[in-house]
Amino acid sequence: MNYSIEPISKEAMLKLWKTFVEIDKAHVASGMLENWDKEHYLFEIKDKWRLSYYLYNNQHQIIGYKIVSGRGKFDNYCHTHRTSIKYEFCNLGYGSILQEKCFNSAKEI
């Protein structure tokens, strides 16, 4: 499994949101995810740009992403808004990799 993980900054989201929509298509069609548009991806939420990540392989093909926000300094938890893995990469452990990265980032806040 060769992959890299990058944070989703607001600037990155402006470039990547259409790719994320494409990744979501199979999951939306199956009813597992609701359809999102640009406004959903760019919606401002506490710590979103610090806790959200995307994952890609060595061919720079985006495998999936996870959008997470913080819930306050003393609440000691974060909230996952969306996780999506490209259909052909499902059940290969990439969702768990993203989960661990986001969880570890949330612990640092």
Percent of the chain residues past pLDDT 90, beyond the cut: 81
Instruction: Please state whether beta strands 3-7 and 62-70 pair in parallel, antiparallel, or not at all (unpaired).
Output: unpaired
For residue 65, tell me if it sits in a domain.
Answer: yes
**Residue 82 falls within a domain, yes or no?**
yes
Over the stretch 19-32, which tens digit does the pLDDT of each residue have?
Answer: 999 999 999 999 99
Is 43 domain-assigned? yes
Residue 47 lies in a domain: yes
Q: How many domains does the chain have?
A: 1
Q: Which residues pair with 69 in a beta bridge?
A: 79
Domain containing 89 equals 3-104
Does 109 reside within a domain?
Answer: no
Q: What is the pLDDT of residue 76?
A: 63
**What's 7's domain CATH number?**
3.40.630.30
Q: Is residue 94 part of a domain?
A: yes
Tens digits of per-residue pLDDT, 51-85? 999 999 999 999 999 999 987 665 667 889 999 99
